[in-house]
Amino acid sequence: MTNFDTPIARRGTGSLKWDRRADLDPFWVADMDFTSPPEVINTIRGRVDHGVFGYAVPHPSLVETLQGYLLDRIGYTCPEEQIIHLGGLVPALSLAARAFGKTGDKVLTCTPIYPPFLGIHHDASMELLSVHHIEVDGQWSFDWQALEDKVTDNTKIFLLSNPQNPMGRVFSEEEITQLATFCEKHDLILLSDEIHCDLILDEGRTPHFSALNLPGALRDRTITLLAPSKTYNIAGLGYAFAIIPNDSIRRRFSAVRGHTLPEINCIAYYAAEAAYRHGEPWRQDLLAYLRENRALLTSTICQKIPDAKVPDIEATYLAWIDCKSLQIENPIQAAEDAGLFLSDGAFFGKDRCVRMNFGTQTKRLKSALETFCNVMGS
C-alpha cells in the first residue's frame, strides 16, 4: 500500500502550484502533492542514465502500451495511425479551433468548465457560445433545450470535459450519446477531453463512457484527448495524445500544427509508457486515498457550512464549492485573506464559487478545511 501521508517539500522547486503565491497555502491548480509511481521514477532514472537526450519519436513499446491501455480501459481497438502524440492537451484545444473554425465561426461549451475551454476560440478568431449546466434529479447535466436555442449554423465545435472539471461529474452513456447526436444534427466536431477518466472514484457506480465508445457514425466526428499527466502526477513532463478515428478530421487537425508546437521531450515518452504499463496498483491506492479525502471534504463542509453546495464528486481530486448562498461577497478573496490559495470560480464561468484541490495529504487538507469553514461560516 502506497503511503500518501508523507509531506513533500515543494516550495522553492519552481512549482507553479506552490511558488506562484508563496505567501499562501495552495489548493488550486490541478496537480497533486504526491510523488509519482516508483516505476515511473525508476524508468526516468534509467532513461537519464543513458545520457543522450536528442530529438525523440514515440518508440514502439509506447505505442503498444497506449493501444493496450485503450483496449483494456476503454474497450477500443486503436490502429496506430489514429494516435496523435502531443505535448499537452491545451494546445490540442487550440489546434482544433484553428483546424475547424474560421473568423466569425462559433465554439460551443457548457459552464462551469476548465478555463482554457473559454479562451481557445481567440486562437482562431472564433466566437464563444456557452450554456450553463443544470441540475437534474440531484446531478449536474446538460440543458438540452438551452443548447438547441444557443447553437447556430456557423457553430463548428463542441468542447466537452468528461469526467467534468471542475464539478467532478462522470457523464452517463445516455448523456454522451445524446450529446453526440446533437453534434451530428448540427454538424459539429465533438472534442472530448477525457484527461480525468482514470480518476473515477467508484467505477462500479459511475463507469466511464468515452467518446470512443460511441457507435461508428457518431464516433466518426470525435476527437478524444487523453493523458497520464493528472492521474500519475507527471503533468510537468508534457505528454498527451489524441485519438481521431476519422481520416479527414485527423489530417485537418494535424495540418494546422505547422511549426507552432515544440518537440515532445524524450523523457516524457518513457514516463508515459511506465505509467500506463506499471502504474495500476499505485492508481488503485491513489483512488482509495482520494475517496477518503473526498469524504472528509464533503462531510466537513456539509456539517460546518451547510449553505455551501458541493456536487457529488464522482471523479477527479477537485471539489467545486458554490458559495453563492453564503454571506460572503467575494469568497476567493476571503480565502486568500485567511491564507488559502484556491481557484476562482469566475475563471470557470461561475462567480462566487471556488475549486479546491484535495489531492494532498489528509492532515494538510483537514487543516485547510477548518480554515475555510471558519472563514465562510462567519
CA atoms within 13 A on the CB side of 185: 11
Predicted pLDDT at 71: 98
3-state secondary structure of 193: strand
> Which is nearest to 263 in space by CA: 53, 111, 9?
53
| CATH T-level assignment (fold) for domain 53-278 | Aspartate Aminotransferase; domain 2 (3.40.640)
Left (φ > 0), alpha (ψ -120 to 50) or beta: where does 354 sit? Answer: beta
Predicted pLDDT at 377: 86
> Which is nearest to 239 in space by CA: 255, 225, 258?
225
What is the rounded distance in angstroms from the CA atom of residue 268 to the CA atom of residue 36? Answer: 13
Three cell numbers written together for 279: 502504474
- What are the CA-CA distances from residue 183 to residues 54, 149, 169, 171, 283 (Å)? 42, 14, 20, 16, 33
Give the other-Cβ count within 10 Å of 312's Cβ. Answer: 15
Do 108 and 158 touch, CB atoms closer than 8 A? yes
What interhelical angle do 60-69 and 266-278 show, nearest 10? Answer: 40
> Which is nearest to 32 in space by CA: 256, 350, 287?
287
Per residue of the chain (378 residues), give pLDDT as tens: 789 999 999 999 999 999 999 999 999 999 999 999 999 999 999 999 999 999 999 999 999 999 999 999 999 999 999 999 999 999 999 999 999 999 999 999 999 999 999 999 999 999 999 999 999 988 999 999 999 999 999 999 999 999 999 999 999 999 999 999 999 999 999 999 999 999 999 999 999 999 999 999 999 999 999 999 999 999 999 999 999 999 999 999 999 988 888 899 999 999 999 999 999 999 999 999 999 999 999 999 999 999 999 999 999 999 999 999 999 999 999 999 999 999 999 999 999 999 999 999 999 999 999 999 999 986
Do 187 and 157 touch, CB atoms closer than 8 A? no
Predicted pLDDT at 126: 98
Domain ranges of the chain: 16-30+280-376, 53-278
Predicted pLDDT at 222: 98
- What are the CA-CA distances from residue 272 to residues 46, 109, 228, 231, 305 (Å)? 14, 29, 6, 11, 41
Main-chain dihedrals φ then ψ at residue 92, nearest 5 degrees: -65, -35
What is the rounded distance in angstroms from the CA atom of residue 236 to the CA atom of residue 229? Answer: 8
- What are the CA-CA distances from residue 185 to residues 148, 153, 217, 374 (Å)? 10, 11, 12, 49
Q: What is the DSSP letter of 309?
A: B
Q: Does domain 16-30+280-376 have CATH number 3.90.1150.10?
A: yes
Predicted pLDDT at 177: 98
What is the rounded distance in angstroms from the CA atom of residue 368 to the CA atom of residue 349? Answer: 25
Do 213 and 171 touch, CB atoms closer than 8 A? no
The H or E element that residue 353 is part of is: strand 353-357
Do 365 and 358 touch, CB atoms closer than 8 A? yes
